[in-house]
Chain A
Amino acid sequence: MTQLSLPRRAPNLSWLLLVPAVALMAGVVYVPLIQSAVRSFGDPPSLQEYADLFSDGITMTVFWRTLGSAVVVTLVTLVLGYPYAYMMTRASARVRGLLMTVVLVPFWTSAMARNFAWLILLERNGPVDRIFQFFGIHDVVFYQTTTGVTIAMTQVMLPFMVLPLYSALAGIDRKLLLAAQGLGSTPVKAFWKVFWPLSKVGVMSGLVLVFTLSMGFYITPALLGSPQNSMIAQLISQRATQLLDFAAAGALGTFVLIVTLVLVGMANSQGGSISAISVVVNTDSPKGNG
């Protein structure tokens, strides 16, 4: 029996493609993250900083304010973004391009420009204030309030809701709605029983994206809010750069990270069984059936 010598296979080195990005992420994100987490336990290590978070009387107030504002922003962007994304799937290619541009313009303008625009809109005796004054309403204040910050953040976050929603909705086969109607559903019921469940993946990714971004949002609250109404990110910044209390800043950062991860994990476990379906929806939808 002759031994066939197999050609020596070159070692598979394609994993090297991962190295640049992983190195960057490790160096710039994960190492500092771990460092700040380690530092948060202080020297000698204790849970004192974490205990202080709950007892200092400020941190929790700011945390709940941030969480509340993030929840409101997330839900309002969903309510505004879903119909918009839905109409984008129904529109002609031209109108769709226009609608897409309208969503993307905020992406193309600098964050500073956008937030200064809000500043001008919402400031005392600014256009918004004057409209309210015109109707004789003088006690509505948006500038340097949580309400004003939340309104501006909603606008800034809207694209992050619309884009994942659009890509999910565009993948749903519209024949399914006709089928549901043919089987006895009103158009409204067909939407809730067929279209909405199939769009949940997009809803989930939009919710997670907007919520996580809102939790850590810095620039809008910093410009539009006031120190009395600060958000978590400002508090962290203040503790790190002004008070130079790195342990406290690290503890706060770690705490927010954990809360966010838990909430995202819960959302993903909700969407887990659904995301499997979305793959099917996208691959099974008819391709160019006359």
Chain B
Amino acid sequence: MTQLSQSNSETFAAASLAAKSGTEVRLEGVTKDFGLAKPAVDDITLRIEPGEFMTLLGPSGSGKTTTLNLIAGFEVLTKGQVLLNGQDVGALPPHKRNLGMLFQNYALFPHMSVYDNVAYPLRERKTAKDEIQRRVGEVLELVQLVGRDKHLPKQLSGGQQQRVALARAIVFNPKVLLLDEPLGALDRNLRGALQLEIRRIHREVGSTFVFVTHDQDEAMNLSDRIALFNEGEIEQVGAPEELYARPETLFTAKFLGDSNVFHLGKVSPIDNAVAWEDERWAVDANTVSPKVASDRGSALVVRPEGVSVSKNRSEVPPDANAVKATILDIEYLGSYRTLVLALGDARLNGRARIDAQSSDFSLGEEVVAWWRPYRQRLVAE
């Protein structure tokens, strides 16, 4: 009972801390032109809530890191505004923006001990000596590196070095923490462990986190919301579930997770059915992306877990959309099986996820793939 109330009060304390220390980051028409064919960042507008964990996700060269550098002040804006809590910081140099930054290669000062590295931002802020000692002790505890303060960075493992960098980036309670692919240099297991740690630290310090990655799983795992970048523009912003379940464009659907994709060409968004080869499929109005327009190509996408497979048409429910398919391969993945399919006459690559136990399919078999209309999504190409 006492334990419960204590943990409750801790939660409250953490919540009030979060409300206090989070900073809103607003990008208004942000543009960075390096003089190439297309601006690296092209007129981006994005509002990041105070205390939010926002991930800038995208393939390499999509402008996500440039956007982060524009927020940090390492790059100069070509056009637009960067606002922190409503204050335009576009003209401020990096050291006046009070932001924490975590780099992929840690960027620890090799000639300084762990302690001196972590104390660096506090000394730059003329913090009193005993206060520095207290803060560094606290934050080394937070990243679980107590007792390593006298080590030089080269005496630590990669994971430990990144924890030191994390400690150094949060020790001065920055308004916003910018993370530039901080886990990219680590191996898979370590990455998983540090993802958990970053989430925990985000909850505990309550600062706004802006995280850059090209790894969709990492983005899905960590973020409150994801801004998906494509060729210098934001393709879609939303919670991971939203981006996965309700992609607006084919790019989003393909970047996050697997999809079965049927290219439809131009369709009218108000039709309640679409045609593909000889099939006619019902379209549910609330599965149509707002970006679908009659002057732009569209595609119908269905996630593998939304697709069922039957031996023949008579087994398909009458309200389902169906397409003939050939089984090319069967992958056993422990908790489920994936059927690799050739869909329709075009023999499009497709996938269906089925029960791990069901084993009544064989390679080369002609089957029918089907799904309920609510499992599909009509997106813009």
Interface residues of A (CB under 8 A from B): 173, 175-176, 178-187, 189-190, 193-194, 197-198, 274, 277, 280-281, 284, 286, 289-290
Contacts and interface: CB of A to CB of B under 8 A. Distances in A.
A173 B105 contact: yes
B110 A183 contact: no
A75 B105 CA distance: 35
Given A183-B120, A187-B95, A193-B120, 14 more contacts: A176-B107, A178-B103, A178-B107, A180-B120, A182-B72, A182-B100, A184-B95, A186-B93, A187-B93, A190-B95, A274-B111, A280-B154, A284-B110, A289-B105
Contact of A181 (B95, B104, B168, B172): B95
Contacts of A179: 101, 103, 107, 109
A184 to B, nearest CB: 4
A182 B105 contact: no
Given A175-B103, A289-B105, A290-B60, A185 B124 contact: yes
Given A180-B120, A183-B168, A284-B154, A175 B93 contact: no
A184 B107 contact: no
Contacts of B98: 184
B115 to A, nearest CB: 15
Which residue among A187, A189, A190, A290 has the maximum number of chain B CB atoms within 10 Å of its CB?
A: A290
17 contacts: A173-B105, A176-B109, A178-B94, A180-B120, A181-B95, A182-B74, A182-B100, A182-B101, A183-B121, A183-B168, A183-B169, A184-B125, A185-B124, A186-B95, A190-B95, A198-B110, A289-B104
Interface of B: 60, 72, 74, 93-95, 98-101, 103-105, 107, 109-111, 120-121, 124-125, 152-154, 168-169, 172, 178
Given A175-B103, A280-B154, A182 B94 contact: yes
A175 to B, nearest CB: 5
Contact of B74 (A178, A198, A274, A284): A178
A240 B259 CA distance: 90
Contacts of B101: 178-179, 182-183
B281 to A, nearest CB: 41
Nearest to A174: B107
Contacts of B169: 183
A194 B109 contact: yes
Contacts of A198: 110-111
B68 to A, nearest CB: 11
Nearest to B125: A184
A277 B105 CA distance: 17
A277 B111 contact: yes
Contacts of A178: 74, 94, 101, 103, 107
Contacts of B60: 290
B110 A277 contact: yes
B94 A280 contact: no
B299 to A, nearest CB: 30
Contacts of B95: 181-187, 190
Nearest to A200: B111
A198 B112 CA distance: 10
Contact of B121 (A173, A176, A184, A274): A184
A280 B161 CA distance: 14
Contacts of B154: 280, 284
A182 B111 contact: no
